């Protein structure tokens, strides 16, 4: 694909109002809205703004516009009503009107970085790139920590193939957030794009070496744990002293679990995930504890997020290997590709586990046993249930094959089918499944990497390296369409109309059957769709009992969209 396509979607907002969380008041609870209430000269502007925001959040746009327009007439300070109207017109898809009211708001507060960013955002969507860049630059001058501003500046530079300028902005982001995995991966990929393999090696290595901060005396406290009778009390003291170290939280969670305190264990695992979202061990342990407590849907969700993190780490190793290969360090590159391949089974296992949990919920199977800590675990974890686990995998594969008969143009289904075929040792078929996915969507990053791993294991190193290069090096033929797709998706009303128009225009065309699915995958290419949510949706759609499963799916997706 290139991984770089993801940079095109970064910094875009779900809605314009997200830029003004501190400038605009919170919405009133919907039940408190009085339909016939009107702002009045003697009334509170803030009360009127809260009412208008309530209308906006509930998409009662006519009421919101009326409220903000009346406030605009009543108050000498036009800032908040103008921002409110800009947000209303954004929801209505009227970008020029949003720009008009943002300009009015900026006249009242020219030093507000959020307004400068929002102006750049609307200008970029209008195609006025030069003016957008000027506004984005102004926003980061006013607020040097405004990540969205740097991300949109870099996206514009990538779209215009000015990779050195994009590197400049991502270097600034590294200074702001030195431990961010995605920033480092993007920077390494940009250096590769320019043929700067040595710089790429340095960035990918740094991405793989990011660790939580700790101190020498904290490490000494950990070393003493093995000699301490009351390890739990000691670890509690360590965490109290260093509350921001995820690895300490993990160790405390382990001790709580062994002490038979699952609720406290899960709190520590969850905190570790929040502190270090890129720490795979924390993500897997959190999901496992959710599973032990019988929270199957939550566990499946967390395992899906672990899959995404594991795939990110694989991408970092692949990037490092490609950079080493480009630098002529071929033996090092092959060893690095082996390290990437060693992570691949985690993806297959975690995806299989998430699917198994869905089927367990579907069958409403209540049979369970307790482990040594008195915690409930699922039968498939017991050694004497290995045959059932094998049967489960074959049933999952059968369901994928059955769906693919009717939906052969779904790239995502081919990819997940390949994961499961690989799990049961059907390697040649797995290779073909990944190829099928890439025939439909040549930019499918995960399929490129998984195919590269399979080819390398089959002894076809040249083709494997070609797949790995495709995963990291940007094919500029795909840049413009993904860039424009991201901007269109950021204008939801226009995006929905465009999709509806396209589907109406090609109604009856059998090649359009997978349009929405492959559109969703293209949005995943630029990071605009939650991949964990899409994985869960895909699993649920394989269910035998569609209605109740779909109801559960919607509940889980709502949680995912809020997270």
457 token code pair: 């294991």
112 lies in the same domain as 260? no
The verdict on residue 485 lying in a domain is: no
Query: In the Cβ-directed half-sphere of 24, how many Cα atoms lie within 13 Å?
Result: 31
Q: What is the pLDDT of residue 384?
A: 35
Higher-pLDDT residue of 555 and 119 is: 119
Q: Is residue 19 part of a domain?
A: yes
Please give the pLDDT value at position 393.
74
Parent domain of 239: 216-277
Determine, yes or no, domain membership for 563. no
Q: Output the six-digit token pair for 337.
A: 């590709």
Identify the domain boundary among 277, 307, 328.
Answer: 277
Q: How far apart are CA 420 and CA 433, in angstroms?
A: 10
Confidence of residue 373 (pLDDT cuts 50, 70, 90): very low
Counting the structural domains of the chain, the total is 3
Residue 179 to residue 458: CA distance in whole angstroms:
35
pLDDT over 70 (residue 482): yes
**Whether residue 1 has pLDDT greater than 90:** no
Q: How many CB atoms lie within 10 A of CB 330?
A: 13
The answer to whether 268 touches 261, Cβ cutoff 8 Å, is no
Decide: 465 and 442 in contact? Cβ < 8 Å: no
Q: Sorting pLDDT into bands at 50, 70 and 90, what band is 505?
A: low
Residue 78: strand, helix, or coil: coil
Residue 521 pLDDT more than 80? Answer: no
Is 135 a residue whose pLDDT tops 90?
yes
In this structure, are 268 and 149 located in the same domain? no
| More confident: 489 or 549 | 489
Range name among 104-113, 264-273, 515-524 with the lowest pLDDT average? 515-524
pLDDT band per the 50, 70, 90 thresholds, residue 379: very low
Query: What is the spatial distance between Cα 370 and Cα 293, in angstroms, rounded to a whole number?
Result: 10
Q: Is residue 458 over pLDDT 70?
A: yes
Q: Are 523 and 380 in contact (CB under 8 A)?
A: no
**Domain co-membership, 234 together with 322:** no
pLDDT greater at residue 196 or residue 477: 196
Q: Are residues 308 and 272 in the same domain?
A: no
3-class DSSP state for residue 56?
helix
Mean pLDDT, range 212-241, rounded to an integer: 64
| Residue ranges in 407-506 assigned as alpha helix (H) | 411-423, 427-440, 445-457, 461-472, 479-489, 492-505
- For residue 93, being part of any structural domain is answered with yes
Which pLDDT tens digit goes with each residue over 277-295?
A: 878 889 989 988 888 888 8
Asked whether 527 and 6 are in contact (CB, 8 A), the reply is yes
Token pair of 46 as six digits: 């803030």
Q: Cα–chain-centroid distance for residue 341?
A: 23
Q: What is the pLDDT of residue 380?
A: 34
Contact, 161 vs 296, CB < 8 A?
Answer: no
Last residue of a domain, which of 130, 154, 169? Answer: 169
Q: How far apart are alpha carbons 49 and 84 in whole angstroms? A: 8
Residues 115 and 226 in one domain: no
pLDDT digits (tens, 9 = 90+) for 424-434: 889 999 999 99
Say what the pTM is. Answer: 0.80
Is the domain of 25 the same as that of 163? yes
Which pLDDT belongs to residue 435? 96
Closest CA to 141 of 166, 163, 172, 170: 172
**For position 176, what pLDDT does the model report?**
93
Question: Which of 435, 430, 442, 500 is CA-nearest to residue 474?
Answer: 442
Confidence at residue 544, expressed as pLDDT on a 0 to 100 scale: 46
pLDDT exceeds cutoff 50 at 237:
yes
Average pLDDT, the chain: 81
Provide the 10 A C-beta neighbour count for residue 83.
29
Tell me whether residue 24 is in a domain: yes
- Please tell me the least confidently modeled range out of 94-103, 368-377, 382-391: 368-377
Beta-strand ranges (E) seen in 348-439 are: 369-370, 376-377
pLDDT-based confidence at residue 437 (cuts at 50, 70, 90): very high
Query: What was the pLDDT predicted at 297?
Result: 74
CB 453 within 8 A of CB 464: yes
Mean pLDDT of 400-423: 87
- Contact by Cβ (8 Å): 5, 482: yes
Q: Are residues 23 and 164 in the same domain?
A: yes
| Whether residue 143 is found in the same domain as residue 253 | no
Q: How far apart are CA 437 and CA 521, in angstroms?
A: 11
Residue 402, Cβ neighbours under 10 Å: how many?
11
- Check residue 304 and give its pLDDT: 82
Answer yes or no: do 367 and 261 share one domain.
no
Q: Choose from 5-14, 96-105, 309-318 the range with maximum mean pLDDT.
A: 96-105
CATH classification of the domain holding 272: 1.25.40.10
Retrieve residue 361's tokens.
């919920």
Which pLDDT belongs to residue 477?
85
Beta bridge partners of 370: 376
Helices (H) and strands (E) in the chain, counts: 27, 2
Indicate the range of 4-8, 237-241, 543-547 predicted with least confidence: 543-547
Q: What is the mean pLDDT of residues 405-418?
A: 87
Among residues 406, 430, 459, which one ends one of the domains?
Answer: 459
Tell me how far apart the alpha carbons of residues 251 and 270 are, in angstroms, rounded to a whole number: 12
In a domain, 535, yes or no: no
Residues 395 and 361 in one domain: yes
Q: Is residue 282 part of a domain?
A: no
Are 155 and 10 part of one and the same domain? Answer: yes
Q: Is 222 in the same domain as 355?
A: no
Whether 494 and 93 have beta carbons less than 8 Å apart is answered as yes
pLDDT value of position 540: 58
Q: Do the domain assignments include residue 31? A: yes
Q: What pLDDT, on the 0 to 100 scale, is given for residue 213?
A: 43
Instruction: Count how many residues are written for the chain.
Output: 563
Identify the pLDDT of residue 529: 62
Q: Convert 363-389 to b/e letters by CB count within 10 Å (16 or more is b).
A: eeeeeeeeeeeebebbebeeeeeeeeb
Closest CA to 465 of 287, 325, 563: 325
**By mean pLDDT, which of 38-42, 180-184, 264-268, 374-378 is the weakest?**
374-378
Q: Which two tokens stand for residue 275?
A: 């502190």
Q: Supply φ then ψ for residue 376, to 5 degrees.
A: -70, 135
Burial class (CB in 10 A: 0-12, 13-18, 19+), 232: middle
């Amino acid at each position: 694909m290139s991984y770089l396509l993801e940079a095109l979607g970064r910094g875009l907002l779900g809605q314009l109002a997200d830029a003004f969380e501190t400038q605009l008041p919170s919405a009133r609870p919907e039940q408190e809205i009085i339909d016939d209430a009107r702002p009045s000269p003697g009334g509170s502007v803030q009360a009127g703004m809260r009412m208008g925001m309530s209308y906006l959040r509930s998409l009662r746009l006519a009421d919101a516009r009326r409220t903000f327009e009346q406030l605009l007439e009543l108050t000498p300070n036009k800032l908040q009503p103008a921002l409110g109207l800009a947000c209303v017109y954004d929801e209505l898809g009227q970008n020029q009107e949003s720009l008009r009211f943002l300009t009015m708001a900026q006249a009242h507060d020219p030093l507000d970085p959020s307004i400068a960013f929002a102006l750049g955002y609307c200008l970029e969507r209008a195609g006025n790139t030069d003016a957008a860049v000027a506004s984005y630059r102004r926003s980061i001058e006013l607020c040097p920590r405004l990540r969205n501003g740097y991300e949109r500046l870099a996206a514009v530079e990538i779209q215009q193939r000015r990779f050195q300028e994009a590197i400049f902005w991502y270097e600034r982001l590294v200074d702001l957030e030195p431990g961010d995995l995605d920033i480092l991966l993007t920077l390494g990929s940009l250096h590769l794009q320019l043929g700067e393999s040595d710089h790429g090696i340095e960035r990918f290595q740094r991405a793989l070496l990011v660790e939580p901060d700790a101190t020498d005396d904290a490490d000494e406290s950990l070393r003493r744990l093995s000699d301490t009778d009351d390890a739990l009390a000691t670890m509690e003291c360590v965490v109290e002293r260093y509350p921001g170290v995820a690895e300490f939280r993990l160790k405390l969670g382990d001790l709580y679990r062994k002490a038979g305190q699952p609720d406290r264990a899960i709190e520590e695992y969850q905190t570790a995930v929040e502190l270090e979202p890129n720490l795979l061990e924390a993500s897997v342990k959190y999901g496992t504890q959710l599973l032990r407590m019988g929270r199957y849907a939550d566990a499946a969700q967390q395992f899906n997020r672990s899959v995404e993190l594991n795939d990110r780490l694989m991408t970092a190793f692949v990037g490092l290997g490609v950079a080493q290969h480009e630098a002529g360090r071929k033996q090092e590159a092959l060893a690095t590709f082996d390290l990437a391949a060693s992570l691949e089974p985690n993806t297959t296992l975690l995806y299989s586990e998430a699917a198994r949990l869905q089927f367990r919920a579907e069958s409403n199977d209540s049979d369970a046993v307790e482990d040594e800590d008195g915690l409930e675990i699922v039968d498939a974890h017991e050694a004497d249930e290995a045959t059932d686990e094998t049967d489960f995998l074959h049933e999952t594969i059968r369901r994928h094959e059955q769906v693919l008969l009717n939906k052969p143009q779904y790239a995502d289904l081919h990819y997940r089918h390949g994961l499961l075929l690989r799990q049961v040792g059907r390697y040649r078929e797995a290779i073909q499944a990944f190829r099928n996915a890439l025939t439909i969507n040549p930019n499918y990053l995960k399929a490129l990497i998984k195919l590269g791993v399979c080819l390398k294991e089959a002894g076809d190193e040249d083709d494997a390296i070609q797949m790995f290069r495709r995963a990291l090096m940007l094919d500029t033929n795909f840049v413009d369409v993904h860039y424009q797709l991201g901007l269109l998706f950021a204008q939801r009303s226009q995006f929905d109309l465009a999709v509806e128009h396209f589907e109406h225009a090609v109604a009856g065309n059998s090649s359009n059957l997978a349009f929405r699915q492959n559109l969703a995958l293209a949005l995943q290419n630029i990071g605009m769709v939650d991949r964990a949510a899409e994985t869960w949706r895909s699993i649920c759609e394989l269910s035998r009992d569609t209605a109740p499963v779909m109801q559960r799916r919607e509940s889980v997706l709502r949680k995912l969209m809020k997270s």
